[in-house]
Structure 1
Amino acid sequence: MDVELGIQNVARPVHFTTTQSAEEVSKVISEELTQGTPIDLVDDKDRHIIVPAGALGYAIVGSETKHAVGFGAL
Structure 2
Amino acid sequence: MEVKIGVQHAPREINIESAQSADEVETAVAEALSGTSKLLTLVDEHGRKVLIPADRLAYVEIGEPATRRVGFGAAL
Alpha-carbon distance in 1 for matches of 2:16, 2:56: 18
The equivalent residue for 2:34 is 34
Measured after TM superposition, the shift of residue 7 of structure 1 is 0.3
* 3-state secondary structure, aligned to 2:46: coil
Which one-letter code corresponds to 1:44 in the other structure?
E
Change (3 A) 1:47 1:68: closer
Could you tell me which runs of 5 or more consecutive residues in structure 2 were left unpaired when the two chains were aligned: none
> What is the percent sequence identity of the aligned residues?
32
What are the equivalent positions in structure 2 for 1:1-74 lying under 5 Å apart? 1-35=1-35, 37-66=38-67, 71-72=75-76
SS of the equivalent of 2:65 reads coil
Q: CA deviation at 1:68?
A: 7.2
Q: CA–CA distance in 2 between the matches of 1:66 and 1:28?
A: 23
Aligned-pair Cα RMSD in Å: 1.7
Q: Which runs of 5+ in 1 are unaligned?
A: none
Q: How many residues align?
A: 72
| CA distance in 1: counterparts of 2:46 and 2:69, whole angstroms | 24
What TM-score, normalized by structure 2, do the two folds share?
A: 0.83
